[in-house]
Amino acid sequence: MPSIQLFAPRNNSQPVAWCHSGPVSPNEFLHAVGQMAERLPERRFIFNLCADRYHFLVTFCAAMLRRQTNLLPPNHAERTLAQLHAAHPDAYAVSDQPMNVAGLEMLPYPALASNGVAHGEIPAIAAEHIAAIAFTSGSTGQPMPHPKSWGSLATEAALTASRLELQAGLHFLGTVPPQHMYGLGSTLMLPLHNGGVIHAGQPLFPADIRLALEALPAPRVLVTTPLHLRICLEQQLEFPPLALILSAAAPLSLELAQQAEAAFDAPLMEIYGSTETGTIATRRTSHGENWESLAGVHFSHGENGLTRVEGGHIQTHVELQDVIEATTDNSHFRLAGRAADMLNIAGKRASLGDLNLQLNIIPGVRDGVFFAPDEEPGKAVRLSALVVAPELSEQQIIAALRQAIDPAFLPRPLYKVDELPRNATGKLPREALRELLAGLNTKHPS
């Protein structure tokens, strides 16, 4: 059976990672992974909750050496972890932050001895080993598992690197968590398999992003989102020049892409993908709206009208929630909106219908509806809600929703109204909701 090494062989003077203390050589990294592997208990599943990207990586590789599977929860909320633990009762957790989940064995990330003794071969992992399970959080909060084999992660990294024409020796800084598929693929697998260097941090604020970039040698790659880019540009800081910017997780406008390319003096490549599939396609946003799928990845029509994607690194066929419009050949396409009533907020997905159901089953709610405003690139969408519930306060309704849905979908604002603008057939026209909300927003200036 084929197996694939933990990382592409490289000279020991070329680091694998870049921590607060400086570069980490391949030998130091292998030494850390070996020590960590010896400390892990004998189990099948491990929650890899490390916030530091290097700690996450060492834990990820050590778990694979022990034939364990890394669970990547969509968030670290206690309720989410408890749900996933119930589905994987054998699991324990490794974390580098103080954390406590009832009944879940928590192993603090240990202090590992650091020395650069020469190691032999880079260990190889069976291609079909399930390296990780990523989860999507539905609106009802019941996470859905998406297993990833080590082989498919490595193939995705190879296909993406060849599309982006990556050179060895790039230094990758990510503003997205390693537990997210985009973060795992673009901040860890891409550098690991293509001679790149992984920055251990995950800066949030523009000033932090600048400091982290300045600490890294060139050539540098920033792996980020439209929201981080917009805030960085609005702060008007001077950033060190980059070799490449990667953006994903939300729509990016042409204008923002052009501004980012100018501010960071680098091409911006946008990545289209999902938790189920990993990376599907890329585009240089400033050069046109068409996407080019990765080599071997292709589309077909499913029976239910949804587009199916398969091939390349994608192990089974997956149905997409986006409408794909193929252009002249089968490798270029444009995105023509989202299928059905799917929402994507802060990388989390929910269906409007499902959210409305959760709202209307709250005792005391007579009628209610969520409203999703039109998307503005670079801005996080927040939902509004209109509710008929004479006996409940806004706070009581929010508190009940908090029990049932992911916080990213909580309405801001939520208005109580006497009735919803239902038409003769009982439907709620979008225009009527928009007008009603506009009136309420002026009455209650936020």
Partner 1 sequence: MTDSKSPLELEVAALIVQALNLEITPQEIDPAEPLYHEGLGLDSIDMLELSLAISKAYGFQLKSDAPDNASIFSSLQSLTRHIEKSRVK
Interface with partner 1 (CB under 8 A): 77, 201, 203-208, 211, 227-228, 231, 234-235, 237, 346, 380, 382, 394, 398, 402, 407-408, 410-414, 446
Q: Which residue has the tokens 């954390």?
A: 99
Cβ at position 146, least distance to partner 1 in Å: 22
Minimum gap (Å) between residue 275 Cβ and partner 1: 18
Nearest approach, Cβ of residue 33 and partner 1 (Å)? 26
> What are the residues whose beta carbons fall under 8 Å from the beta carbon of 60, sequence distance 6 or more?
48, 70, 131, 132, 178, 188
Give the shortest CB-216-to-partner 1 separation in angstroms.
Answer: 14
Q: Which lies closer to partner 1 via its Cβ, residue 295 or residue 346?
A: 346
Q: Is residue 176 classed as helix, strand or coil in its secondary structure?
A: coil
Q: How far is CA 46 from the centre of its chain?
A: 19
Contacting residues for 120 by C-beta, under 8 A, at least 6 apart: none
Mode of pairing for the β-strands spanning 197-199 and 17-19: parallel
Minimum distance, C-beta of residue 92 to partner 1, in the bound complex (Å): 24
Q: Which is nearer to partner 1, 211 or 361 (CB)?
A: 211
Rounded to a whole number of angstroms, the minimum distance from the CB of residue 207 to partner 1 is 4
Going by C-alpha positions, the residue among 276, 294, 35 that lies closest to residue 138 is 276
Which residue type is seen at 406? Answer: D
- Only one residue has tokens 């390693």, namely 178
Q: In Å, what is the CA distance from 35 to each residue of 45, 112, 315, 384?
A: 19, 7, 32, 50
Instruction: Using the minimum distance from each CB to partner 1, give the nearer residue, 106 or 231.
Output: 231
Measured from the CB atom, the residue of 97 and 300 that comes closer to partner 1 is 97
Return the number of the residue (164 or 232) whose C-beta is nearest partner 1: 232
Distance, CA of 109 to CA of 116 (rounded, Å): 20
Least gap, CB of 231 to partner 1 (angstroms): 5
Measured from the CB atom, the residue of 119 and 210 that comes closer to partner 1 is 210
176 vs 294, beta carbon nearer partner 1? 176
Cα separation, 210 vs 232, in Å, equals 9
Q: Least Å distance between CB 158 and partner 1?
A: 31
Find how far residue 39's CA is from the centre of its chain: 29
Which of 341/394 has CB closer to partner 1? 394
161: alpha, beta or left? (left if phi > 0; alpha if psi -120 to 50):
alpha
65 vs 410, beta carbon nearer partner 1:
410
Name residue 46's beta-bridge partners.
70, 92
Residue 297: how many other CB atoms lie within 10 Å: 22
Shortest distance, CB of residue 346 to partner 1, whole angstroms?
A: 5
DSSP 233-268: HHHT------SEEEE-SS---HHHHHHHHHHHTS-E
